[in-house]
Amino acid sequence: MKKKILFAAVFMALLFFAPAFFLSAQTPARNSNNQFAALLLKVSEKDNKYTIEKGETKIVNGVYKTPRAAIDEGKENDLVCFILDERNTAVDSLLIPNPLSIRYEYPEDERNIGTAVMNKKENEIMVRFNYNPAMKYILIKRIGKDGSMAALATLTIM
């Protein structure tokens, strides 16, 4: 009887703690050192082809808390950024909604705010994400009409 109770207790403990153990072993701590990266990207479009250049990168003390859109919410011409470690394994990802469309708001009349969307040929965007030293590269892909993704650039974070 004691063996059955002991076995049941060990089994329940394994069921409870095993997922946390395996998940923490597969992915590094998302922000164990309380830093985030701010990376400037220069995006331009010519003949329906995007080019991306990396601008300045800053590592800042603090935690980036702004909620982000899920990757599966992406639409045509959105960019998906995969944060990679030294083995090119994705450790984080984020969605940049159509980086060449800028939305402006303006007062329309006394009670309404009007909006206008301007499509640009080039733009600078700031990408922010919680950072840890294992993060080495950022792989940027563009979402196509059919939902497929085409790689645009792989850039070093630092």
Per-residue pLDDT, 32: 61
Poorest-confidence range of 12-16, 56-60, 121-125? 12-16
Per-residue pLDDT, 96: 94
Give Cβ neighbours of residue 117 (< 8 Å, ≥ 6 apart): 101, 102, 103, 104
Per-residue pLDDT, 10: 46
Residue recorded with tokens 């070093």: 156
Cα-based angle 40, 42, 48 (whole degrees, multiple of 5): 145
pLDDT over 90 (residue 142):
yes
Q: 0.75 exceeded by the pTM?
A: no
Poorest-confidence range of 63-72, 121-130, 146-155? 63-72
pLDDT over 80 (residue 15):
no
Would you place residue 146 in the very low, low, confident or very high pLDDT band (cuts 50, 70, 90)?
very high
pLDDT in tens, 44-101: 999 989 999 999 999 999 988 877 778 888 999 999 999 999 999 999 999 999 999 9
Would you place residue 27 in the very low, low, confident or very high pLDDT band (cuts 50, 70, 90)?
very low
pLDDT over 60 (residue 19):
no
Element (H, E) at 100: none
Which residues on neighbouring strands pair with residue 44, listed in sequence order?
51, 122
User: Of all residues in the chain, what percent carry a pLDDT higher than 70?
Assistant: 80
Q: What is the DSSP string of 126-150?
A: EEEEEE-TTEEEEEEEEE-TTS-EE
Residue with the larger pLDDT of the pair 142 and 6 = 142
From CA 72, how far away is CA 8, in angstroms rounded? 40
In this structure, the number of other CB atoms found within 10 A of the CB of residue 23 comes to 9
